[in-house]
Amino acid sequence: MRVLYVEDAVFLAEAVKHNLEKQGITVDHVNNGEDGLEKAVDEIYDCVVLDIMLPKLSGTDILKRMREKQIQTPVIMISALSEVETKISNLEHGADDYLAKPFKTAELIARIKALVRRPKNININTISYSDLILDKTNATLNGEQLTAKEVEILSEFIKSPELLINKEHLLAKIWGEDGFGEDNYIESYISRIRKLLKKIKSKTNIVTMRGLGYKLTDK
């Protein structure tokens, strides 16, 4: 497994890199945004870990440019900024996960392994419901590019249209039994998917069943 780690705090970066390598993970570390973007675009990684506050170019800017270039490598954002708005903003820009500082390296390793493991299930086939066509191989919905987690969430809804899906099911299914996701993560992804459904002018919608969960419907 190969990971790109972009972090300007030298002592933290060295400690994290050492612990990841002890787990057999190959780590390329750079300490500024420009070098991070160059590596993220030009080289192949299983996962990219980005600090948000970086010199020369922010982690969020790296993330945006990666997604603009259709690079769908799983991305974990790391920051001392713990506001929900910051988390939501980065998730909406295509991040797959968000980890607030300070964090335990063991948790970062678990999240990396979870993200690397799950995208392998994306490239199976194409599924559809109503006017929606989810292409898991290319990670697109009606031609629009998706992140890995958006594919997994949409897959759950499209496989079970008109049925109630609760948050606990989505958290367990998408983030695994370890439950690293949070309720507001699910809400952020649902909001992003709703915007996408409007963009493609789909007649479907994800309806909130207050206190119960969500349902995909075309009624």
Burial degree of 133 (CB within 10 A; 0-12, 13-18, 19+): middle
pLDDT at 30: 96
pLDDT at 180: 52
pLDDT at 176: 62
Exposed e or buried b per residue across 9-34, where buried means at least 16 C-beta atoms within 10 angstroms of its C-beta = eeebbeebbebbeeeebebbbbbebe
pLDDT at 122: 44
pLDDT at 183: 60
- What does the pLDDT profile of the chain (219 residues) look like in tens digits? 899 999 999 999 999 999 999 999 999 999 999 999 999 988 888 899 999 999 999 999 999 999 888 788 899 999 887 677 788 888 888 898 988 888 899 999 999 998 887 644 444 478 899 999 998 888 899 999 998 889 989 998 998 888 888 888 887 776 665 445 566 778 888 999 999 999 999 999 999 988 889 999 998
pLDDT at 160: 84
Exposed e or buried b per residue across 176-214, where buried means at least 16 C-beta atoms within 10 angstroms of its C-beta = beeebbeeebbbbbbebbeebbeeeebebebeeeeeebb
Cβ distance 161 to 216 under 8 Å? yes
| Domains in the chain: ranges and CATH | 2-119 (3.40.50.2300), 122-217 (1.10.10.10)
DSSP 1: -
- Cβ neighbours for 177, distance < 8 A, ≥ 6 positions apart: none
Dihedral angle of Cα 158, 73, 2, 32, to the nearest 10 degrees: -150
pLDDT at 121: 45
Kindly report the pTM of this predicted structure.
0.58
**Both tokens of residue 84?**
């929900």
Nearest CA-CA partner of 79 in 40, 106, 104, 53: 53
pLDDT at 89: 84
* C-alpha span between 43 and 37 (Å, rounded): 10
Exposed e or buried b per residue across 39-54, where buried means at least 16 C-beta atoms within 10 angstroms of its C-beta = bbeeeebbbbbbbbbb
* C-alpha span between 18 and 25 (Å, rounded): 10
Single-letter code of the amino acid located at 26:
T
